[in-house]
């Protein structure tokens, strides 16, 4: 019978388990420690041989300990070693890979659908914003038009915007606003214009630019306008005067006098306007005149006498000062009323200050009237698409004075120049954002002049001066425009033709 002596206690403590023939020595190191070579154990060992065999096994185990320690260090750093070696090691949860992939694909599909929905909502919001911006621009244009054409109390229409400035450039591109694409409250908007495009507010301003100067157009508050102008006037008269009696038709006894007068006048005017308030402006005008007259007189008495006189003069004219005040804040289609007051001085050369010859014929030309004058007036401006109607009425009071000068051999005493009533009416029309024109008529009725000549009083005839007016306006820039005016006389006393060019500058 084989006898194996008991192992020492140190071996029992150090070696938890021994597996013969290559089995695991330690439960933890079984998969990493290389088993020792198989040791044959004989059934017939003596006690000494058993001790020797045990010693050999112990030596071999001592040699395997460093290798087992090196295998255990990584495991200890990754997880703590259980205090109880008998506690079972927890096993990781085992899941089906196919099931996980299906869940991930489903989640990705849901995310993609949500992103697509968000993109659609963003696109709809952008389209809606574009549509709302288009409507806002449309409403702003309509609001400007309402303030210009039919202003309310809350937003008064100011004529001051229209003086010397041309058209507001930032509104020209917004003449007709189209609806943008995209839904609006679940109802898609058409991509073409709906209904009639709003009228151009700038047309109102352009039509007013073509209206003749002095027809109620105001200067903005705090702004200064320089309005230089040059005017040419041509007039000619042919008169036949008979002093005597006519016994029968065709047989005249007395003196016959015929005169032919041609007058050319060039007036350069420097005008300045300033807006004192939103409704009140002040204006000053200083003219410089050049006159050239050619007069031919034919007197038929016993002998025919022909005299031809050529005169010219250059001097300052009568300076003027005026105030204009807008009376009302119009509503709907009511007109805008503007009251004016003009004061005319006598700074020009008076007709009674020029030299005369011994026959009482003037040898010089006057550049002024020789009298002070005050003219109140009222004018209106009525926007009525597609035109602007204008008109006015004024009364000029010429203040009488004593001349007290001998002309020829006659003493000229008190002279009361005839007052005058003037009226005008017309309309302006804009063809495009830059060009407009106006048509109108102006008439002046001048009462007779009362003159004291020695011991007698002489009254002249009344004078009718009517002219047909045609004006054009072209906008050069936001602050500058070119205006041309043409006057054609339609009465006997009116000048034949007049041409005026104005280039206002606003500062």
Question: How would you label 85-121 residue by residue, b for 16+ Cβ within 10 Å and e otherwise?
Answer: eeeeeeeeeeeeeeeeeeeeeeeeeeeeeeeeeeeee
pLDDT beyond 50 at 151: no
* Ramachandran angles phi, psi of 339, nearest 5°: -100, 145
Backbone conformation region of residue 149, classed left if phi is above 0, alpha if psi is from -120 to 50, else beta: alpha
The burial of 187, by beta-carbon neighbours within 10 Å (0-12 exposed, 13-18 middle, 19 or more buried), is given as exposed
276 versus 432: the higher-pLDDT residue is: 276
pLDDT at 66: 65
The residue ranges of every structural domain in the chain are 9-78, 108-202, 203-506
The owner of tokens 């001998």 is 406
Q: How far is residue 413's CA from residue 406's CA, in Å, rounded to a whole number?
A: 9
Q: Could you report how far apart the first and last alpha carbons of the chain are, in Å?
A: 135
Check residue 71 and give its pLDDT. Answer: 57
pLDDT of residue 372: 95
Q: CB of 275 within 8 A of CB of 281?
A: yes
Query: In the prediction, which pLDDT does 330 show?
Result: 74
Among 69-78, 205-214, 447-456, name the most confident range.
447-456
- Specify the range with the lowest mean pLDDT, choosing from 116-125, 156-165, 223-232, 447-456: 156-165
114 pLDDT above the threshold of 60: yes
Cα-Cα-Cα-Cα dihedral of 54, 55, 59, 64, to 10°? Answer: 10
Quote the mean pLDDT of the chain. Answer: 74
pLDDT, residue 422, reads 95
Give the whole-angstrom CA distance, residue 377 versus residue 214. 10
Q: What angle do CA 329, 334, 335 make, to 5 degrees?
A: 75
User: Looking at the domain covering 203-506, what would its CATH class be?
Assistant: mainly beta
**Higher-confidence position of 395 and 74:** 395
The better pLDDT of the pair 320, 125 is held by 320
What kind and span of H or E run contains 481? strand 480-489
Q: What is the pLDDT of residues 201-257, one digit of tens each?
A: 444 555 566 666 666 668 888 899 999 999 999 998 876 555 544 444 544 445 556
pLDDT reading at 419 higher than 50? yes
The predicted pLDDT at position 15 comes to: 41
145 or 32: which leads in pLDDT: 145
Most confident stretch, 45-54, 215-224, 247-256, 281-290: 281-290
pLDDT given at position 62: 73
**pLDDT at residue number 140:** 84
The winner for highest mean pLDDT among 81-85, 384-388, 412-416 is 412-416
């Amino acid at each position: 019978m084989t006898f194996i002596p008991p192992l020492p206690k140190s071996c029992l403590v150090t070696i938890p388990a021994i597996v013969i023939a290559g089995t695991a020595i330690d439960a933890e190191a079984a998969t990493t420690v290389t088993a020792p070579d198989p040791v044959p154990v004989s059934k017939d060992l003596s006690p000494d041989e058993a001790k020797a065999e045990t010693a050999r096994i112990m030596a071999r185990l001592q040699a395997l300990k460093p290798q087992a320690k090196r295998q255990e260090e990584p495991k200890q750093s990754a997880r703590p070693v259980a205090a109880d070696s008998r506690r079972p090691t927890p096993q990781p949860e085992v899941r089906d890979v196919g099931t996980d992939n299906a869940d991930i694909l489903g989640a990705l599909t849901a995310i993609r659908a949500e992103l697509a929905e968000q993109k659609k909502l963003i696109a709809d919001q952008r389209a809606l914003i574009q549509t709302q911006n288009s409507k806002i621009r449309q409403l702003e244009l309509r609001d400007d038009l309402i303030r210009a054409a039919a202003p309310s109390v809350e937003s008064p229409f100011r004529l001051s915007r229209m003086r010397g400035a041309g058209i507001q450039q930032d509104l020209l591109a917004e003449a007709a606003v189209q609806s943008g694409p995209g839904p609006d409250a679940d109802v898609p908007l058409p991509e073409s214009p709906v209904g009639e495009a709003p009228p151009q507010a700038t047309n109102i301003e352009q039509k007013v630019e073509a209206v003749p100067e002095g027809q109620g157009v105001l200067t903005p508050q705090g702004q200064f306008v320089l309005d230089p102008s040059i005017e040419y006037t041509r007039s000619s008269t042919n008169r036949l005067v008979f002093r005597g009696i006519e016994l029968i038709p065709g047989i005249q006894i007395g003196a016959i006098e015929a005169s032919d007068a041609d007058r050319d006048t060039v007036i350069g005017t420097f005008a300045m306007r300033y807006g004192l308030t939103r409704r009140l402006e002040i204006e000053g005008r200083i003219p410089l005149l050049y006159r050239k007259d050619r007069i031919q007189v034919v007197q038929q008495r016993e002998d025919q006498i022909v005299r031809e006189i050529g005169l010219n003069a250059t001097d300052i004219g009568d300076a003027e000062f005026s105030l204009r005040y807008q009376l009302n804040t119009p509503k709907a289609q009511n007109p805008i009323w503007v009251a004016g007051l003009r004061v005319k001085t006598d700074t020009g050369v008076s007709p009674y200050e020029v030299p005369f010859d011994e026959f009482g014929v003037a040898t010089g030309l006057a550049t002024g009237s020789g009298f002070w004058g005050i003219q109140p007036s009222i004018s209106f401006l009525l926007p009525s698409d597609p035109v602007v109607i204008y008109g006015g009425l004024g009364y000029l009071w010429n203040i009488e004075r004593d001349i007290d000068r001998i002309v020829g051999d006659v003493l000229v005493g008190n002279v009361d120049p005839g007052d005058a009533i003037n009226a005008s009416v017309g309309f302006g029309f804009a063809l495009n954002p830059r060009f407009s024109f106006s048509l109108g008529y102006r008439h002046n009725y001048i009462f007779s002049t009362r003159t004291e000549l020695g011991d007698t009083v002489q009254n002249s005839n009344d004078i009718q001066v009517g002219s047909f007016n045609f004006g054009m306006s072209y906008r050069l820039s936001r602050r500058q425009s070119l205006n041309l005016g043409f006057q054609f006389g339609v009465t006997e006393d009116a000048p034949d033709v007049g041409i005026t060019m104005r280039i206002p500058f606003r500062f």
